[in-house]
Amino acid sequence: MSENTSYTTEEIARLLKISKLKVYDLIKKGELPSYRVGKQMRVDLSDLEAYKQNSRSGASAGPPAGDATALPHTPFALPPATFTAPLHFSQPPAFTGKSAGVNVVITGQDMSLDILATHLERSQPSSRPLRSYAGSLDSLIAMYHGESDIVSTHLLDGDTGEYNLPYIRKLLVGFSYVVVHMLARSAGFYVLKGNPKGIRDWSDLQQKGLRLINRERGSGARVLLDEQLRLHGIQSAQLSGYDTIENSHLAVAGMVARGEADVGIGTEKAAKIVDGIEFIPLIQERYDLVMIKKPEHEQWIGTVIDILRSSAFKNELSSIHGYDLTDTGRVIYET
């Protein structure tokens, strides 16, 4: 094979039998040299072989393949992270050769994070934002494992009615971090136009013959549903379609619009994009950012907070339907 052969992050993940987010981690730590060509990150064959040789000799500090393991020392049980959504880079600069600057991995699914990545790259050229896509709980687990620097989360604790902080405090024990409010948005049901099933509340999910379309484990929408089922005493086994999964709000809304499901859970924004459905608002969810505090993170953490508070960033987000930016940029918790 030619020495000029190079691989994408997805190909590297398949070759090493690890998650694509783990590939990001190796790139971020400098263990796997990389460079950009257009919108793709690439790793040369020679650098991949050098990494494999270092791993065999024990020189690499990275964990072994099969990295999605159970979390030690956490006060509550969490499922292992399973990163199945595709990962890609947004708004990269022109090709400049081998990696330069500080990689900042931003994990989460909302388009506001893509906008944040663009602003960060403009405001601090020494930082190179890398976007990865995972649900809220998987994002926090990635941060626990040191595989992400900024994560977004919208996880409801049903017992307290509080978003995010109960999960962050339990999972990031011993970490120093800052939580900053990004935006608020309405979450609820997607139903067919005219709401033929008359679905208005969580208790209506018990209707006989109702077909649900669910989200993947670890997503904020899935946690919201599971918490509400628990609080309303509804067994998931009672719900037709509980185990039928889609990986985005748009995909869930599309299933309802096509008549393949009667109801799904998601945000209002997707309902404005997909024809043929109505949105039944149920809760205003808080969408927050978590950033691990380290000396080497200090400069870009300050830049991120400044971006969130800037008129330019808020003006760009205000054009997207369904975002409440009243408290955007407010530090709500810090250790």
**CB neighbours of residue 307 within 10 Å:** 21
User: DSSP class of residue 39?
Assistant: T
CA 269 to CA 272: how far, in whole Å?
A: 5
pLDDT in tens, 125-177: 888 899 988 999 999 999 998 989 999 999 999 999 999 999 999 999 999 99
| Interval 209-231 mean pLDDT | 95
Is a pLDDT exceeding 80 seen at residue 97? no
CA 263 to CA 269: how far, in whole Å?
A: 16
CA 139 to CA 223: how far, in whole Å?
A: 13
pLDDT in tens, 42-62: 888 888 888 888 887 765 444
CA 161 to CA 166: how far, in whole Å?
A: 10
More confident residue, 69 or 26: 26
More confident residue, 75 or 3: 3
pLDDT for the residue numbered 278: 96
pLDDT in tens, 281-327: 999 999 999 999 999 999 899 999 999 999 999 999 999 888 999 99
* Angle ∠(82,86,91) on CA atoms, nearest 5: 130
More confident residue, 96 or 271: 271
**CB neighbours of residue 60 within 10 Å:** 17
Burial class from Cβ neighbours inside 10 Å (0-12, 13-18, 19+) for residue 236 reads: middle
Q: Is 151 helix (H, G, I), strand (E, B) or coil?
A: strand
pLDDT for the residue numbered 83: 38
pLDDT for the residue numbered 3: 56
CB 222 within 8 A of CB 216: yes
